[in-house]
Amino acid sequence: MLVLLKKLFLKKRKPTLRERIEKYTEAITFAEAGLDEKAKELVKKKKEKARIVVVGNEYSFSEEVQEYALGFADRLGYDIIALNIGPIEKVSSLEPHCDLLCEQFKNKCSESIGIFRKRCKNRKIGFTHTIKFGKVDNCISEVDREFDGIEFVITEPKKKIGDSYIIPVFSVAHVK
């Protein structure tokens, strides 16, 4: 019963018929005034679903971070972007070898991501997987530029205290 109530209250509400008509009336008004781009913007404007970036431990995701991210996404109605970060930085003199190492890393990531993807599918959580190479902060910034709606970043636990892990969760702020 509690799960059903949570889903009802946490679910994002669809706009009412009246709200949709008002939005289209506003768009028509802009179009009639010669502001076609503004009118198109209003009609096309569709809010992206909020997303969480989950940073793996190189090519895998621990059980703890998967479970935490799934619960977080499920409670808040967010999608998940699983991010594997390869520790390889391209150096021009070693480029052929870097390409081979990057390819091997991508293959390992593809093999290990299946369980996480399936767990998201079972809970009806949107899931995207991406692989980046370089420093963690640069890779997260790159993903933030590529995808809309990123609100949080969850990373692998670094420390275990007793029977619990400390899982870092960061809020993403977009400042203009």
Every domain of the chain and the residues it spans = 14-46, 51-171
Residue 48 DSSP symbol? P
This prediction's pTM: 0.68
Whole-angstrom Cα distance, residue 65 to residue 62? Answer: 5
Give the homologous superfamily in CATH for domain 51-171.
Answer: HUPs (3.40.50.620)
User: What is the token pair recorded at 60?
Assistant: 């895998």
Torsion-angle region of 77 (φ positive above 0: left; ψ -120 to 50: alpha; else: beta): left
Count CA atoms within 13 Å of residue 152 on its CB side: 19
Whole-angstrom Cα distance, residue 89 to residue 135? Answer: 8
Mean pLDDT score, 127-147: 92
| DSSP H/E element including 8 | helix 2-10
Q: Please, what is the end-to-end C-alpha distance for the chain in angstroms?
A: 43
Whole-angstrom Cα distance, residue 139 to residue 155? Answer: 13
The pLDDT of residue 43 is 61
Q: Are 80 and 129 in contact (CB under 8 A)?
A: no
| 72-118 pLDDT tens trace | 898 888 999 999 998 776 555 566 677 788 888 899 999 999 999 99
